[in-house]
Amino acid sequence: MPHPLTAPLTRGPAHAEQRFTCRVERIVQATPDIRILWLQPEGGKRFAFSAGQYARVSFGGREERDYSLAGRPSEPLLEFHIRNMRGGPSLYVNTHLQEGATAEVRGPFGTTYLRGESSAPILAVGGGSGLAPMKSIVEEALAQGMSQPIHLYFGARAEGDVYLEEHFAALTARYPNFRFIPVLSAPSGRTQRRTGLVTDAIAADFTELSGFSAYLAGPPPMVEAARTVLPRLGLESGAIHADPFIGEAERYRREGPK
């Protein structure tokens, strides 16, 4: 079996590859480093995907990058959360992209999508902008009436990196089976929040994860740590679905040109 970081791109469930030109409808600065974008596909077309998948997006004719879809598949606008990596297209998106601009979107890709037929408790873990596909997964699960426990852990560095908290608090109030747990890895001062590595917080909260389904997205070190910690708690490796956000330079080194 190929190593998860070197596995070739997979199409996931039965969605043919689509290519859409979109209009950037709305941009919100969610944290100092993350912008949330909503894209409107040309002609009001619907981009078919499963919750948790990602697309390849080019902004302003720049190189494509992979970005996870953060909304539910039935929503008319495509939502993306794009973190400023201080170089490449993500810098452009965070400093120059404006509402009204166009973007080319193709996909969907990825096998980290919600298994809607499963009644297993769900452990969703997002680091940084890895919250995006986890948002899609938990929102779709809740909207579909999935009633098993759903735990969303969000690994952020400091207080200012926590976003969408009110949004998830509203979901927590509405759905008793849903929990949202932000964990700060590098708080800048005293805090009431959980602190440390998000994987350590999970290990502190659970003694047994056998029978759970886990979905992971975010920085490769976080995903790798979770792949080590979760099986120790009894989670079957086949029940772990992960999309590490490997950067383009690393992808090229591992896979060669697209």
Ligand X SMILES: Cc1cc2nc3c(=O)[nH]c(=O)nc-3n(C[C@H](O)[C@H](O)[C@H](O)COP(=O)(O)OP(=O)(O)OC[C@H]3O[C@@H](n4cnc5c(N)ncnc54)[C@H](O)[C@@H]3O)c2cc1C
> What is the rounded distance in angstroms from the CA atom of residue 167 to the CA atom of residue 3?
35
83 near ligand X (CB under 6 A): yes
Count the alpha carbons within 13 Å of 49 in the hemisphere toward its beta carbon: 37
Query: Which of 74, 77, 72, 66 has its CA nearest to residue 218?
Result: 66
- CB neighbour burial string for 229-238, b if at least 16 within 10 angstroms, e if fewer: bbeebebeee
Binding range to ligand X, per CB under 6 A, among 78-86, 113-121, 174-182, 201-209: 78-86
The nearest distance, CB 90 to ligand X, in angstroms, is 3
Binding range to ligand X, per CB under 6 A, among 82-90, 179-187, 191-199, 229-237: 82-90
Q: Between 220-232 and 198-205, two packed helices, what is the crossing angle to 10 degrees?
A: 20
Kindly tell me the burial class for residue 3, based on how many C-beta atoms sit within 10 Å of its own C-beta (0-12, 13-18, 19 or more). exposed
136 near ligand X (CB under 6 A): no
Residue closer to ligand X, measured from CB, 76 or 87: 87
Residues in 101-120 that interact with ligand X by CB under 6 A: 110
Among 59, 67, 113, 212, binds ligand X (CB under 6 A): 67
Among 187, 196, 231, 247, binds ligand X (CB under 6 A): 247
Residue closer to ligand X, measured from CB, 70 or 201: 70
Contact present, 68 and 80 (Cβ < 8 Å)? yes
> What is the rounded distance in angstroms from the CA atom of residue 237 to the CA atom of residue 242?
11
89 near ligand X (CB under 6 A): yes
The nearest distance, CB 187 to ligand X, in angstroms, is 21
Footprint on this chain of ligand X (rule: CB under 6 A): 54, 65-68, 81-83, 85, 87-90, 110, 129, 132, 219, 243, 245-249
